[in-house]
Amino acid sequence: MTDPSPGNGIRTRVLLQVSVALIILVTMACSLVVIGRSLRQRAAAQLHDDLQNSLQTFQDLQLRRRASLERENRLLAALPTLRALMTTHDARTVQEGAKDFRSLSGNDLFALVNPDGTIVAAEAQGIQNQEQLRRELGSIMTHPGKRYLVASGKLFEYSVEPVYFGSPESGTLLAYVIDGYLVDRRLMQEVGRGAGAEALFLADDHVAASTLPEDRLLTQDWSAAFPSRSSDGVVLIGGRRYLGATRDLPDGAGMPLRLIVLKSFDEAEEVEREIRRIVLLVSLLAVLGGSALMILLARTVTSPLERLAAAVRAFAGGDRRYQLPEGGPQELRYLSHVLAEMRYDIEKKNHALLESERLATIGRMASSVSHDLRHYLAAIYANSEFLASSSLTTEERAELFEEIRLAVDGTTDMLDSLLLFGSTGTAVRRADTSMQSVVHRAVALVRAHPDGETVNVHVEEYEGDATGEIDARQMERAIYNLLLNACQAAAEGDASPQVTVALSGELSSISVTVSDSGPGVPDAIRHSLFDPFVSKGKQKGTGLGLTLASSVAHEHGGSVELISSRAGETVFRITIERHNAGMASKLPDSSTMVSQ
């Protein structure tokens, strides 16, 4: 399991700041959506109401203007001079006199019609073709009750008033007078301002008059925008959105006539944009304020929390003096107090555990050493008594002395192992040393040992450079322990006792492989081979050999491994680092093994 790195993850203060910013931004986005939708719905409803009011206002203004026109026409028809003119029944005289009456009315359309419907005199602003004007005016008399006339593409609103000689009830009908005004852009603007909207007249789906500029009307398909004769809808004119309402006018003479009133969305959209700007500004201020608040909060919450986490890491690294935070919120103070108590309890229990393990180690060491030490001391004591006898020959005395020497050497070897075990972990005295010479000295020592006298120790000579920065004394002892264990194991095997030592080198490491022909490592101790005082199945020894070898290898940046173990072959390998990059270039591309 890999320990988590202190640098992984997101810091609490960053998480808080990002969370606040995201909350504000999401709230802002949702607010903009909700506000925009609400404003658009309200604007559409308000525009619809305004549109209906504007439509009604427009029609009311038109009605008042029509009433004024009819009143003027009645006054005109009641003039005695007009009656006298019509009694002449002379077309040229009537046409000449009609000019004065048109000037008197001041309107854009004027005509005098005989009782039989014959147009005697007619004049209209902007229309030069008198014959066409007379034909179109003739349709007025066939459509009584109409109020609008489209002549030569121009829209006129008119009034028809009969002229009587005498009273209308008992007098004689002399003629009809037609008086009207041109419904043009100027007039539409005057009426439109009163209604607070744009307006236009459609005559047979063609614009007859409008308050809109001409360039906005050229490319507009009004029949597609308002397919029915009484419909409301949104139309795009000149890149601007309008809500429009249309009404049929039954007063058109001979063709469909519609009034369309338009209200622009510009004002509502500007209000929406302004509200969006305000919301964005408020959101930006909220983000800045929230960040400042999180920074302040980090000083009171996250800073003590980070110091607490640093204290935990320091304690895990062995620093027991790291100061725990005392400030911050109540929960952090409580957590710091609990951590302090926990640290004290852990230190106390660790101290007790170390004492217990020290005593247990001493006990295991005493138990392991006592048997061999008593054996050696007993041999020295007994042979010393025999040497005191005066009846021994010189050969017998030499034999007894040799047994005493072996016992003393065994005791010395045991004490050296204990001293080396106790000194591991101290400073290693490294120097450039040939691993080949270390291996040869270790082999010589093990061959001189009683357990190695009957074993064939074979060294495969390495021709490459095996020089490294090592502590020669410790490394010699480590290899010696591996060899001695191998000799003891080989002596217990069924085959001829054989131990082989091989040396190999890499760019940055050196390895020594020791193999024996013994019965193999028991399964019961394979998981604890390198623990101290483990010597199951061995008749003698302290159980420190592999432990010392592993400790020495570890101090040299390497390790001891059990490569394989089976009956007839067990292989251990100790690997250490060279710690000398300059030696890498001296290594050969390949190595040759030569038997010694």
Number of domains in the chain: 3
DSSP letter assigned to residue 477: H
The answer, as to whether pTM is greater than 0.85, is: no
**Cα separation of 558 and 142, whole Å?**
121
Predicted pLDDT at 573:
94
Residue 501's SS3 state is strand
Shared-domain flag, residues 411 and 444: no
> Span 477-504, mean pLDDT?
89
> Residue 229 domain-assigned?
no
Shared-domain flag, residues 445 and 582: yes
**Cα separation of 575 and 553, whole Å?**
7
Asked which of 370, 392, 423 is the last residue of a domain, the reply is: 423
Shared-domain flag, residues 498 and 537: yes
The CATH number linked to 533 is: 3.30.565.10
Containing structural domain, residue 176 = 78-182
> Residue 459 domain-assigned?
yes
Q: Quickly state the pLDDT bin for 309 (edges 50, 70, 90).
A: confident
> Span 320-327, mean pLDDT?
73
Shared-domain flag, residues 524 and 552: yes
Q: If phi over 0 gives left and psi between -120 and 50 gives alpha, with beta otherwise, what is residue 377?
A: alpha
The predicted-structure confidence for 125-149, as pLDDT tens digits, reads as follows: 888 888 888 888 887 777 777 788 8
Shared-domain flag, residues 408 and 437: no
Asked which of 423, 455, 489 is the last residue of a domain, the reply is: 423
Shared-domain flag, residues 448 and 586: yes
> Residue 307 domain-assigned?
no
Q: What is the DSSP string of 257-270?
A: EEEEEEEESHHHHH
The CATH number linked to 349 is: 1.10.287
Q: Structure tokens of 198?
A: 């744009």
Out of 2-11, 18-27, 236-245, 498-507, pick the least confident: 2-11
Work out the angle at residue 443's Cα, subtended by the Cα atoms of residues 371 and 454, and round it to the nearest 5 degrees: 65
Predicted pLDDT at 543:
60
Phi/psi of residue 317, each to 5°?
-85, 0
Q: Which among 463, 450, 438 is positioned nearest to 552, based on CA atoms? A: 438
Per-residue CA distances from 17 to 275, 280, 332 (Å) = 26, 19, 20
Q: Quickly state the pLDDT bin for 512 (edges 50, 70, 90).
A: very high
Shared-domain flag, residues 455 and 589: yes
The predicted-structure confidence for 340-378, as pLDDT tens digits, reads as follows: 788 778 878 877 887 776 666 666 666 556 655 666 677
